[in-house]
């Protein structure tokens, strides 16, 4: 039986000592989706720790918009800080404005336009590497695309090539490690267990590679027209340059925040297009009209409307970042509840996106729900979070995903071809387990009548 304590309901089913740890580890998405039935603010227990899950969009918005009271905190953020240094994604409110101001210019529209050239080059290399009738492991391919593109956006200089390689090879173990370390009790984190050793080794390798690149940029004087060069030139409000440690933390943060999320989004998008061949064909009409069979560029973006809606709908169904935490820095009032200081709050884009009270037919893939003439309730689509801590790379990710998906669909027919449908695997990101897709070249295929119409 759920109990209500001053506006916060306690989720039923907590076991002595471990609380809700079992359902949360076994099937976290199902567990989360049971919570709104108990109230808008539902307390869960993980061993000795408790957390309040926020189950209504407008309350999530209040949390996101008041980042001074609902500050970054909680077990995942602690681990992220430990793995990456106190970069923009994990630093507290008191340090955030300064960090955001130093990074924001690197994600301006003018810069994005430059980065799109790198994106187009990498997408071209990816899709021309496929052959007719081949089965591709989409997750690995999209990871390669996202890691290569983002690493080259951060550091383009030839001297950085070994770092790009070391970092992209180390990141999968770092992602896994951060998540495992966040859910493991502190004692187990320190034991030399194989996953802990793998994580430490990967983190040290990436850490050293980024340090070496910063030193070599400082020595050669640059600039190289990339994010690292920009950070080296940046001065804070007091006119002071950023320290190596600060630059290091930001570069590691951008790599970790940007790569897996974007790769996972693209992987789900390809999977959904296989599951919904009618949407794939409609998208082919659009992309063939705009691109023919060439690779998409920045200038094409305004005409790739459906592609953008497909990505948006993918992010609604499978938001790569599916769970985030905040910690109250002071007593707060949320709905009818008084929340004491140091309370951990959880918000989950997955939970909000799949709640039938806020999104009709929430489990159906329907890109047209994002047509401008359709009505949308504010706060019900939050794949990039919101408020001052909203994703810094949202436009970067949307650009890369739109260009990549459009190019793929214009050149290749995608099908699961009898291969198993992937299961969802919630880790740091909401990744599908192994998406295998058969790709058929459209190059020699005459445009079908259905597409011409």
> What is the contact surface with ligand HEM in residues (CB under 6 A)?
88-89, 100, 150, 253-254, 257-258, 261-262, 265, 315, 319-321, 324, 383-385, 389, 391-393, 396-397
Q: Is the peptide bond before 378 cis (omega within 30 degrees of 0)?
A: no
In angstroms, what is the minimal distance from the CB of 319 to ligand HEM?
A: 6
Q: For ligand HEM, give the closer residue by CB, 391 or 442.
A: 391
Bridge-partner residues for 437, per DSSP?
Answer: 136
Q: 3-state DSSP call for residue 277?
A: helix
**Cα–Cα distances in Å, from 8 out to 333, 342, 349, 437?**
11, 15, 20, 45
Give 262 or 287: the residue with its C-beta nearer to ligand HEM. 262
Helix axes 244-275, 75-84, angle to 10 degrees: 120
Within 10 Å of residue 335's Cβ, how many Cβ atoms? 15
CA distance 382 to 322: 10
Which of 412, 355, 344, 420 is closest to 382 using CA atoms?
A: 355
- Least Cα distance to 61 among 327, 381, 336 occurs for 381
Tokens of 192: 């030399």
Judged by beta carbon, residue 316 or residue 413, the one nearer ligand HEM is 316
Q: Closest approach of Cβ 347 to ligand HEM, in Å?
A: 7
Based on CB atoms, which residue is closest to ligand HEM, 277 or 387?
387
In angstroms, give the least distance from the CB of 67 to ligand HEM: 8
| Beta carbon of residue 119, minimum distance to ligand HEM (angstroms, whole number) | 11
* Closest residue by beta carbon to ligand HEM: 393
**CB closer to ligand HEM, 355 vs 440:** 355
CA–CA separation, 381 and 331 (whole Å):
28
Instruction: Enumerate the β-bridge partners of residue 431.
Output: 425
Using the minimum distance from each CB to ligand HEM, give the nearer residue, 229 or 262: 262
Q: How far is the CB of 436 from ligand HEM (least distance, A)?
A: 22
DSSP category for residue 374: S
Min separation Cβ 157 and ligand HEM, Å: 18
């Amino acid at each position: 039986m759920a109990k209500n304590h001053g506006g916060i309901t306690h989720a039923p089913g907590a076991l002595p000592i471990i609380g809700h740890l079992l359902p949360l580890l076994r099937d976290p998405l199902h567990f989360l989706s049971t919570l709104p039935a108990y109230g808008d603010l539902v307390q869960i227990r993980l061993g000795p720790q408790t957390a309040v899950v926020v189950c209504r969009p407008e309350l999530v918005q209040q949390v996101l918009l008041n980042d001074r009271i609902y500050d970054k905190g909680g077990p995942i953020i602690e681990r992220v800080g430990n793995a990456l240094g106190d970069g923009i994604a994990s630093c507290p409110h008191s340090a955030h404005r300064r960090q955001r101001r130093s990074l924001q210019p690197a994600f301006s529209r003018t810069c994005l336009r430059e980065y799109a050239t790198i994106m187009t080059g990498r997408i071209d290399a990816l899709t021309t590497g496929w052959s007719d009738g081949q089965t591709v492991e989409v997750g690995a391919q999209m990871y390669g695309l996202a890691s290569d593109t983002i690493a080259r956006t951060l550091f383009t200089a030839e001297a950085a090539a070994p770092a790009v390689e070391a970092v992209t090879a180390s990141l999968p173990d770092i992602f896994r490690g951060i998540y495992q370390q966040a859910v493991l009790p502190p004692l187990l984190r320190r034991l030399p267990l194989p996953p802990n050793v793998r994580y430490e080794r990967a983190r040290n390798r990436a850490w050293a590679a980024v340090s070496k690149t910063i030193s070599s940029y400082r020595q050669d004087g640059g600039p190289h027209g990339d994010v690292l060069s920009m950070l080296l030139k940046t001065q804070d409000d007091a006119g002071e340059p950023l320290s190596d440690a600060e630059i290091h933390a930001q570069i590691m943060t951008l790599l970790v925040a940007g790569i897996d999320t974007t790769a996972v989004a693209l992987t789900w998008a390809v999977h959904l297009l296989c599951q919904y061949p009618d949407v794939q064909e409609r998208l082919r009409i659009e992309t063939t009209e705009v691109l023919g069979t060439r690779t998409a560029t920045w200038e094409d973006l305004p005409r790739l409307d459906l592609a953008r809606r497909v990505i948006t709908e993918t992010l609604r169904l499978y938001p790569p970042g599916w769970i985030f935490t905040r910690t109250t820095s002071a007593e707060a009032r949320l709905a009818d509840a008084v929340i004491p200081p140091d309370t951990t709050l959880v918000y989950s884009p997955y939970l909000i996106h799949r709640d039938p009270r806020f999104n009709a037919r929430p489990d159906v893939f329907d890109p047209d729900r994002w047509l401008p003439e359709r009505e949308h309730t504010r706060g019900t689509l939050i794949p990039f979070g919101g408020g001052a801590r909203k994703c810094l790379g949202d436009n970067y990710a949307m650009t890369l995903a739109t260009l990549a998906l459009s190019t793929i669909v214009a050149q290749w027919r995608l099908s699961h071809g009898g291969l198993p449908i992937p299961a969802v695997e919630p880790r740091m990101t909401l990744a599908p387990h192994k998406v295998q897709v058969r790709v058929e070249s459209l190059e020699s295929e005459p445009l079908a009548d259905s597409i011409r119409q």
